[in-house]
Amino acid sequence: MATFKSGFATVVGRPNVGKSTLINYMVGEKILIMSDKPQTTRNKIKAVVTDEESQIVFIDTPGIHKAKNKLGNFMASEINEAMGEMDVLIFMTDEKNKLGPGDKYIIEQIQDFKMPKIALVNKSDIYKDNLSVEAEITEMDIFDKVLRISATGGMNVQEVVAFIKNNIEEGPQYFPEDYITDRPEWFVISELIREKALQFLQDEIPHGVGVLIEKIEQRENKDMMDVFAVIMCEKKSHKGMIIGKEGSKLREIGESARMDIERLLGTKVYLKLWVKISKNWRDDERILRELGYKSW
């Protein structure tokens, strides 16, 4: 009987280098939100990939950055916790020509870790000349393997999976084989709505936006789910921007989010969104817990 292997692979890197995109590709479903805005990921989220020979639990971490409020402190604690539960470390960058100071800072923090380490140079389908980044990382002699990948197109992603499988040990199946994330359904839905807010809103708003799910309810005829959610912001001016002229922006956010939620739930969805001002919610422990950001 073949040996079954299992282990945890933690993905670290600057904000917005494609960590969530890579994990979504590996899982085969969209469970982690993606955006071109920094600090999109706020929680340490586990995504599970199971096949006949192994179960890999990927841990997506918030991009490493300096905390400015209690939400930032929470994100930093999530990173530290993730570092403590990994069997394999995946470092990601998406630099075109050479490593920046943010990348070098992260490499400095992880260089003495003893577990197997792989470095991924993302967007190599776009940046054809990022061979120089690959060479720079290789010369450091810190990582067991350095790969140029495309998290969106799948270039060399199977080599990443093979590296992980070769470096995890025989172990139990931690989660059922159809299990793809450790987060409850309501949390994934709230993140999908937040992703659309990041997509459609101005740059100065997104970090001050949170999404609170008030109710998820299946209708009696079971052919539709009702989802009621509140988009929280910190300023009156932000509320106006989120709603838009005659509600146009809020409708865009809602329609786009609804389509992703329907794919997630496998049924039709009625999504009702409200916008609420909650000044300094990112420093309010009660609100942070309600939004799914656990106590630090």
| 41 vs 179, residue with greater confidence | 179
* Alpha carbon distance 200, 241 (integer Å): 10
Strands 88-93 and 5-13, how do they pair? parallel
* Alpha carbon distance 167, 148 (integer Å): 19
Longest dimension (CA), the chain: 64
Sketch out the chain's domains with CATH numbers: 5-170 (3.40.50.300), 185-290 (3.30.300.20)
Supply the pLDDT for residue 79.
Answer: 47
Confidence of residue 72 (pLDDT cuts 50, 70, 90): very low
Which of 17-26, 36-45, 267-276 has the weakest average pLDDT? Answer: 36-45
pTM above 0.85, yes or no: no
pLDDT digits over 185-238, tens only?
Answer: 888 888 889 888 888 886 656 567 888 889 999 888 778 999 999 998 888 888
- Per the DSSP assignment, residues forming a β-bridge with 98 are none
| 262 vs 76, residue with greater confidence | 262
Give the residue-averaged pLDDT of 84-109. Answer: 87
Give yes or no for residue 60 having a pLDDT over 90. no
**C-beta contacts of 32-36 below 8 A and 24+ residues apart:** 32/60, 32/191, 33/191, 33/192, 33/194, 33/195, 33/198, 34/195, 35/195, 35/198, 35/199, 35/206
pLDDT digits over 136-185, tens only?
Answer: 999 999 999 999 999 988 999 999 999 999 999 999 998 888 787 767 78
Supply the pLDDT for residue 76.
Answer: 46
| 191 vs 76, residue with greater confidence | 191
Give yes or no for residue 282 having a pLDDT over 70. yes
Supply the pLDDT for residue 186.
Answer: 84
